[in-house]
Amino acid sequence: MDRRDFLKAGAAGLALSTVGGYATGFAGQRSRRVGLIGCGWYGKSALFRLLQVAPVEVVSLCDVDSKMLAEAAAMVAARQRSKRKPRTYGDYREMLKREQLDIVHVATPDHWHALAMIAAVKAGADVYVEKPISADVVEGQAMLAAARKYKRVVQVNMQRRSTPHLVEACERIIKAGRLGKVGHVEICCYYHMRARGNPPDTAPPEHFNYDMWTGPAPKRPYNSLVHPRRWRAFMEYGNGIIGDMCVHMLDMVRWMLDLGWPKRISSSGGILVDKDSKSNISDTQTATFDFGEMPVVWTHRTWGNAPDPDYPWAAFIHGDKGTLKADVHKYDFIPRGKGEKAHGDALYEYDQFPEDKTEKDLERQVASAIREHWKNFLAAVETRSKPVSDIEQGYITAASCILANIACQLGRTLVWDPERGRVVDDDEANRLLRRPYRRPWIHPEPESV
Structure confidence by residue, pLDDT tens digits, 354-407: 999 999 999 999 999 999 999 999 999 999 999 999 999 999 999 999 999 999
User: Is residue 212 over pLDDT 70?
Assistant: yes
> What pLDDT sits at residue 5?
58
> How far apart are alpha carbons 343 and 4 in whole angstroms?
13
In the chain, what are the domain boundaries?
Answer: 3-159+375-391, 162-198+225-360+392-431
User: Is residue 24 over pLDDT 70?
Assistant: no
Max mean pLDDT among 183-197, 222-236, 308-322 falls in: 308-322
- At residue 17 the predicted structure's pLDDT band, cuts being 50, 70 and 90, is very low
Do 3-159+375-391 and 162-198+225-360+392-431 come out as alike in CATH topology?
Answer: no
User: Is residue 20 over pLDDT 80?
Assistant: no
> What pLDDT sits at residue 19?
30
User: Is residue 214 over pLDDT 80?
Assistant: yes
> What pLDDT sits at residue 3?
54
Q: What is the mean pLDDT of residues 185-201?
A: 92
> What pLDDT sits at residue 228?
85
> What pLDDT sits at residue 6?
52
* pTM, rounded to two decimals: 0.94
pLDDT in tens, 398-444: 999 999 999 999 999 999 999 999 999 999 999 999 999 999 999 99
> What pLDDT sits at residue 313?
98
Residues 315, 327: contact at Cβ < 8 Å?
yes
> What pLDDT sits at residue 29?
58
Instruction: Give domain 162-198+225-360+392-431's CATH superfamily.
Output: Dihydrodipicolinate Reductase; domain 2 (3.30.360.10)
> What pLDDT sits at residue 21?
36
User: Is residue 72 over pLDDT 70?
Assistant: yes
pLDDT in tens, 90-142: 999 999 999 999 999 999 999 999 999 999 999 999 999 999 999 999 999 99
CA atoms in the 13 A half-sphere facing the CB of 280: 8
* Percentage of residues in the chain having pLDDT higher than 90: 89
User: Is residue 229 over pLDDT 90?
Assistant: no
User: Is residue 23 over pLDDT 80?
Assistant: no
User: Is residue 22 over pLDDT 70?
Assistant: no
- Which fold is adopted by the domain 3-159+375-391? Rossmann fold (3.40.50)
Q: What is the mean pLDDT of residues 155-160?
A: 98
